[in-house]
Structure 1
C-alpha cells in the first residue's frame, strides 16, 4: 500500500499575535514543523505547540529559519556557512529541549523559507545545515526538496525524507514556482488532490509548462497559514485514504 506523511508548519504565532489554526490542524496531519523563535514563534508558543503535538500523537520537527521576525524568514540574508551552522544548532537544540522536557522527542528537521531556498542555491550552506543536524543527532532525518540539501544530508549519512507540496506549482526542473510569480499557489482543493495523487502513486508532477517531472514523495507539506488550511488538509487526507493511500508518520 502506498503511504505518505502529512506535515504542517506550526507554532508561528508570536506573543498575542496568532497565525494559523494549529489545534484544529493536528487532527489531520502526522508531523509538525515547529518554528524555533527566529522567523516566527517564541518560547511560550514553542512549549504550547510541543505539548499539543504530543497530545495529538503528531511527530515533532524543528523548523529553523533566518533571524527575521518582521520578514517571516522569507527575505534572503547574506550568511556564511559557519553562521548558518550556528543558527541551526541554536534553533534545533532549543526545540529538542522543549520536546524532551515534555516527554517527547525530536523526529526531524526542516528548514524554513529563505533559508530553505538559500540551501538550494549554495551547496556550502546546505552542507552547513546537514553538518549541524549531524553534530546534534546523526540519526535525525532532514525533510528535503532540493538536490543540494538532499546531497548534503546523504554526505553526512543522515536519513532523507523527500517533501512535496499540495498547494504549490512546480517548474520543469522539479523546483517550486517562486511565490513572486503568477500561479505559484494552488488554491483549488480538487487540483491539489489530483496533483498529490499523481506524485504519490505515479512519482510525477505536472509542471506549469505541462511537462511531467519525476518526483519522490515521502511527505506532503500543508501550509497552516493559508486561508482554509484546516478544510484543505482534511479534504486532502480523506481523498488520499479513499484512494488507498495510507497517511502515517515516516
Structure 2
C-alpha cells in the first residue's frame, strides 16, 4: 500500500513538473494563438518552483530506496540485481546523479525561455517579410504550408544575412587576417556578458601586429544579438533562441 502511495505521489510530482515547465513558455504574439493560450495557459511558474518539485521527487525516490534496503538482509541488497547498480553500495547515488543531470538540462532549456532574450530575438527578426515571401513562393513549394515556407525563409535569413560564422576573427584595428596565439581569461565586462574564455589572435600585417580578443560564449548571451557572430556554440545558442520565438508568432 505504501509503495502504491509513493508511486502516486511521484506521478503527481512529475505532472506538476511538466505543468510548471509548460507555464514558462512565452505567450504567443499571434492574436489567434494568444487567445488559445489564454484559454489553456497553466498557472505561472518559476525556476524555483521547478527546482523545489524536483527536490521533492528526489527525496521521495531516496525514501523509497531506503525502505527497500531496510526490508532486505545485509549482503543481499543486490543479489538479484543486474546492471550498473551491482557495482555501487547505494542506488541513491544514481538517483542524485539523475536529478543533477535533469536540473542541468532543464536549466539549459529554460535559458531559451527568458522573456527579455526572446523579445530581443523577435525584434530583430523580419517576420512580416518572411510571410510576404512565403505567400509569393507557394507555387515553388506546393506540398508545404505557409508556415513551412516561413521557416524555410527564416533558415535562409539566419544563415546568410543575420549571423556570421567566424573561424578566425579579422584584426580589430586594420581588418587584416590574424593567426591564433592562445586563450586568456575574460575581462570583468566579458565575464559579465557571459564569456567563459577569450581566444586571442595576432594580426599578420607587419605594421600592425594588433592582438584581437575573441570572447567565446557558452550560453544564449544577450550580447550575441549585438555582435551576431561566433562559431559552433554561439551559432547554436542564437539559432535556438531565434527559433524559439517562432512559436510566439503562432507558427507550428
Normalising to structure 1: TM-score of the pair? 0.21
Q: Which has the higher strand share?
A: 1
Higher relative contact order (CA 8 A, sep 6+): 1
Greater share of helix: 2
Answer with 1 or 2: which has the greater Rg: 2
